[in-house]
């Protein structure tokens, strides 16, 4: 059931609700509509191998009763993990998808509020939840959210895992893997954990992040069993866009910053387009995606040449890929086929993932996993890079770099610092070259590579 509700910003709507229930936010890249959801009509959660078949069956059941409805959710980066390896990720489990109780879909001038009611639901309870919904008239976050200065609570410390020394050691281990011919590319990640003097305001953080990163997917996921934890991000990378039998994806790899001056910007663009290392890294991603899609498609097209994906502060190499699906292919089949791509794991995939399981000193959780939605013969998922986990007074930021022959530890460290700059910028912080943590990841001398903006 759905009704028009007039103009309202989805983040303002979410902020007005009680902050202890499940709440999700989704804004597709370049899409005019934004979605916020609150509460749960049905939830699927557990191991990836169990949840994906259940999700396919539930979506098929919507075909006759609610064909425009969607399940929203995501998967862990490493689907072989049946439980989180760190407490901060416990609520996100391996796979979790929600058919929301209430779903607000908003455009520039109007919004629609939908309510999902399932057979067997307690209608009195549903009506009580509906009566409790707040419907703010503001089209942006209300004043009490806007007035929270993101530099207050104040930053207390930053801890990098691994630190610079540990990072160099991991690069060296990856190069040994190339020499042993175990893999050709592996994506190493870092976690920068920021500790603040008081709890963070995740919706206000996302509001500012979205304004600073046009041309990206923007998302947030909070679950009722740990309402202090919100996973949010601004990802430039599409994993799947499915409409009927048509599917689109892309190979994205290689990174350079944008230049402040026109001449500098053009030089950095030409440097990326002409980089043998970056084009080789991009080629691994492109070829692996094509190999994964061939068994499930009748036709595949790919851009003849990699082009520039230009963002507000960064640029990447991108090749668009389009295909026609074979009969009977479900959106969950595409998830299983494409995730993880070499853009976030490596190639060959199994060898790269085995290396990461053995050597990565933290739990990626949903970082670099697929996040998005599934509907009837339709789906869209982003790769959850450029993301962070807010939990009480901490913000754990995650980012990675593709390592191939010729990679240099210092340059890859600097690339990740630049990828973290969108988050750091909206927090009023700037990134530098140092590392404020000991070899085991404990903060030592504060945050020498951060300056207050």
Known catalytic residues are: 185, 237
Q: Fill in the DSSP letter of residue 291.
A: H
Strand 451-452 relative to strand 229-235: parallel, antiparallel, unpaired?
Answer: unpaired
The phi and psi torsions of 277 (rounded to 5 degrees) equal -65, -45
Of 24, 79, 10, the closest CA to residue 232 belongs to: 24
What's the CA gap between 132 and 119, in Å, rounded? 22
- Write the CB contacts of 43 (distance below 8 Å, at least 6 apart in sequence): 22, 96, 97, 98, 99
Q: Are 384 and 74 in contact (CB under 8 A)?
A: yes
Task: Give the distance between the most distant pair of CA atoms in the chain.
Answer: 65
Q: Fill in the DSSP letter of residue 442.
A: -
For residue 141, the SS3 value is coil
The phi and psi torsions of 297 (rounded to 5 degrees) equal -125, 155
The phi and psi torsions of 314 (rounded to 5 degrees) equal -140, 170
CA distances from 333 to 114, 173, 295, 323, 329 (A): 28, 34, 11, 14, 6
- Write the CB contacts of 310 (distance below 8 Å, at least 6 apart in sequence): 215, 258, 269
Q: DSSP assignment of 65-116, as one string?
A: H-TT--EEEEE-SSTT-SS-SSGGGGGG-SEEEEEEEEEEEE-SS-EEEEE-
Distance of CA 153 to the CA centre of its chain: 25
Both tokens of 48, joined, read: 């990836």
What's the CA gap between 36 and 256, in Å, rounded? 33
139-145-149-151 Cα dihedral, nearest 10 degrees:
-110
């Amino acid at each position: 059931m759905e009704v028009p509700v007039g103009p309202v910003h989805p983040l303002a709507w979410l902020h007005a609700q009680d902050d202890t229930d499940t709440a999700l936010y989704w804004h597709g890249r370049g899409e005019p509509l934004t979605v916020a959801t609150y509460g749960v009509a049905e939830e699927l959660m557990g191991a990836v191998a169990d949840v994906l078949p259940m999700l396919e069956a539930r979506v098929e059941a919507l075909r006759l009763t609610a064909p425009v409805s969607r399940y929203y959710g995501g998967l862990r980066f490493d689907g072989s993990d049946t439980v989180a390896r760190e407490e901060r990720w416990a609520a996100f489990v391996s796979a979790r998808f929600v058919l929301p109780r209430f779903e607000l879909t908003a455009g520039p001038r109007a919004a629609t509020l939908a309510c999902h009611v399932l057979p067997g639901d307690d209608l009195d309870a549903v009506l009580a939840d509906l009566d409790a919904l707040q419907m703010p008239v503001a089209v942006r976050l209300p004043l009490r959210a806007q007035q929270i200065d993101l530099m207050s609570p104040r930053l207390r410390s930053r801890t990098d895992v691994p630190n610079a020394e540990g990072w160099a050691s991991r690069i060296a281990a990856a190069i040994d893997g190339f020499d042993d011919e175990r893999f050709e590319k592996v994506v190493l990640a870092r976690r920068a954990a920021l500790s603040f003097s008081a709890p963070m305001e995740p919706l206000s953080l996302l509001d500012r992040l979205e304004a600073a990163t046009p041309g990206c997917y923007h998302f947030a996921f909070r679950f009722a069993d740990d309402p202090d934890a919100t996973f949010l991000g601004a990802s430039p990378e599409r994993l799947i866009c499915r409409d009927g039998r048509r599917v689109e994806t892309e190979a994205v790899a290689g990174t350079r910053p944008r230049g402040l001056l026109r001449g500098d910007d053009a030089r950095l663009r030409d440097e990326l387009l002409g980089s043998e290392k970056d084009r080789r890294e991009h080629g691994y991603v492109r070829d692996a995606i094509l190999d994964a899609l061939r068994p499930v498609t009748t036709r595949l097209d790919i851009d003849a040449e990699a082009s520039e994906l230009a963002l507000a502060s960064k640029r990447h190499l991108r090749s668009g890929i389009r295909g026609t699906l074979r009969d009977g292919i479900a959106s969950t089949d595409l998830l299983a086929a494409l995730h993880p791509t070499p853009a976030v794991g490596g190639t060959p995939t199994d060898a790269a993932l085995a290396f990461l399981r053995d050597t990565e000193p933290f739990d990626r959780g949903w970082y670099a996993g697929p996040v998005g939605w599934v509907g009837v013969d339709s789906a869209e998922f982003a790769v959850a890079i450029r993301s962070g986990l807010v939990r009480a007074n901490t913000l754990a930021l995650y980012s990675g770099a593709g390592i191939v022959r010729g990679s240099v530890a210092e340059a890859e460290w600097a690339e990740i610092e630049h990828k973290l700059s969108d988050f750091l910028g909206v927090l009023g912080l700037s990134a530098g070259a140092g590392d404020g943590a000991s070899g085991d990841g404990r903060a030592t001398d504060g945050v020498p590579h951060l300056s207050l903006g």
